[in-house]
Chain A
Amino acid sequence: MEQIGQMLLAANTQWVLIGTLLLGLASGILGSFALLRKQSLIGDAVAHAALPGICIGFMLTGERSLIILLIGATVTGLLAAYCIQYIASASILKEDTAICLILSTFFGVGIVLLTKVQQMPSGNKSGLDSFIFGQAAGMVSSDVKLMAGAAALLLMVTIIFFKEFKLITFDAEFAKGLGLPVSALNFLFMTLLVAVVVIGIQAVGVILMAALLITPAISARYWTNSLSKMVIISGIFGAISGVIGTLISSLDRGIPTGPFIVVTATIIFFISILFAPARGIITLKIKRRMTNQKLLREQGQVK
């Protein structure tokens, strides 16, 4: 307990916590839209595809400047998202095949570049491989501030465009009829999605980042039918997962953050699927039993 208390007081840990909290919030909110638009696995592909971008960013500058790495990741992430949509629309291949194809081949390129980076004299110490599973505890305070700032910015943009995103998610035709620039909004949303994935990979890692988009959102879906409530609940679930995962992983050096964030989020998901008031599996069973008993009792009274 004391150890945790001390840890919480450390300034760097506080920053890391704020960072992962904002990240969880932003990814939970954007993840809700992605889920309803059936685009959450694109987030997975984007996260894997960020790896080559990070390596290229490092190779070009030769130093580990986070902002350059993130720009590289954004470029290859957007390229991957574009390739997926292009392959799915221009050929007989379905979207899931396109996602899988782009995800794995971009990751392959990333691995090739990563081995090249590790051969560079400065690359060995760069710690680029911490991007694969995430290492929030190892982030320096300027990295965290960048992540927290970017997450806050993404949140703001999403809130400003909330109504528009809601409309293109549920009824794109109607949105078009109203004169909204639907394709521009789609592009904006995709950019936000890529951005949240990219800022998250340092804490959660490229392989597991998708979980932070999908799991809180699908858990929140169990608790409500209204989009605005779902977005808030999902944001809160994401934030809780981010904070708890970070706390566990900062107990010891070398424990990756991402897996613990994902496990926390999945536990919340299991609680939701079992106990959510309207749709939980166990809640439904209890309700059914109560109705049965009530019916039996009523029948007894009639007789």
Chain B
Amino acid sequence: MSYEIWIIIVASLVGITCGVIGCFLILRKLAMLADAISHTVLLGIVLAFLISQSMNGIYMLIGAAIVGLFTAMLIQFLNHKGIQEDASIGVVFTFFFAIGVILITVFADSVHLDVDHALMGEIAFVPFDMVEIGFLPPLPKAFIMLLSILILNIILMMLFYKELKITSFDPALAAAIGIPVMFIHYLLMGMVSVSTVASFDSVGAILVVAMLIAPGASAYLLTNKLSHMLCLSAFFGVLAAISGYYVATWIDSSISGSMAMMSGVLFALVFIFSPTKGLLGKKMNHKRFRSESTAP
């Protein structure tokens, strides 16, 4: 397949994977925690590289999942010790990210990772990194990784859909009927970490936050039903990815940056034009309500 098509496919997979997970983050008010994890994943990747001395995706996934979960636990611990949540998030992620950056600069000669890569990803190089598995034609590594993470996420979500739903909307009820709330929380955090790593190569550690949050936030403004929100969010993720790619080639700039930008633009459009919860929609409803109530 051609160069362009692979980039679009990989970008869309990032959009779907992140978009679906993002819905739960928004509903559970964990957006900032996801932001923190996406920053600290950098440390996991650097450590995995320094320990294993290879750029193998599996090691990176493991390293990132460990550091991601550790971030979530440390934030929880500090919070438990009486530090307000935003401060504990701020302290932990800046510290881990700082250590990651220091390690990259100190071991710059031996680490095949530069800071720009960590920030913006290198989706343009995805089609050059092909592997062959069995009888299949050569496929880009990033594609295989993202697809397997997406399938894993979907399986986990189908298995725990009811639990995820109840713990998101009513954690007290969930605890009362015996659902392991903390287990579901860390399961979700683990899914966020591995999705971040899988997307890391393509869009970078910070812009992945845009792909996690913006599609879900847009979907949230359009529907009240969780299953619809998940589908809409995946759709917005893909839309942001594809439009981002074309904008980037049109103005000749960073693909991942313009994907993040387009996810913001899509959100702005939904924020203004959503029929029920948008600015215009609310105004129209208001007017209709007023005209109905003044009508004889």
Interface residues in chain A, defined as those with a beta carbon under 8 Å from any beta carbon in chain B? 35, 38, 40-41, 44, 48, 87, 90-94, 96-97, 99-101, 103-116, 119, 129, 132-133, 207-208, 210-211, 213-215, 217-218, 254-256, 258-260, 262-263, 266, 269, 273, 279, 281
Contacts and interface: CB of A to CB of B under 8 A. Distances in A.
A22 B165 CA distance: 49
Interface in B156-182: none
A108 B260 contact: yes
A101 B256 CA distance: 15
A37 to B, nearest CB: 10
B266 to A, nearest CB: 10
Nearest to B87: A218
Contacts of A281: 81
A23 B84 CA distance: 24
B116 interface: yes
A36 B244 CA distance: 39
Given A97-B31, A104-B210, A259 B257 contact: no
Interface of B: 26, 29-32, 34-35, 39, 78, 81-84, 86-91, 94-95, 97-99, 101-102, 105, 115-116, 119-120, 206-207, 209-210, 212-214, 217, 220-221, 248, 251-254, 256-261, 263-264, 267, 271, 277, 279
B213 A100 contact: yes
A108 B264 contact: yes
8 contacts: A38-B84, A44-B90, A92-B220, A96-B86, A103-B209, A107-B260, A108-B256, A259-B97
A101 B213 contact: yes
Q: What is the interface of chain A mostly: helix, strand, loop, or mixed? A: helix
Nearest to A90: B279
Nearest to B94: A211
B29 A101 contact: no
A116 B251 CA distance: 9
Nearest to B268: A105
Closest 3 CB pairs between A and B?
A: A108-B260, A105-B264, A111-B257
Given A35-B84, A263-B102, 15 more contacts: A92-B277, A93-B221, A97-B31, A100-B209, A101-B217, A111-B119, A111-B257, A111-B260, A112-B248, A129-B116, A211-B95, A215-B90, A260-B98, A260-B102, A266-B94
A249 to B, nearest CB: 10
Given A256-B101, A266-B95, A35 B87 contact: yes
B15 to A, nearest CB: 13
A108 B32 contact: no
Contact of A214 (B91, B210, B253): B91
A35 B279 CA distance: 31
Contacts of B213: 97, 100-101, 104
Contacts of A113: 253
Contacts of A133: 101, 115
Contacts of A111: 119-120, 207, 254, 256-257, 260
Contact of A112 (B217, B257, B277): B257
Nearest to A87: B271
Contacts of A103: 35, 209
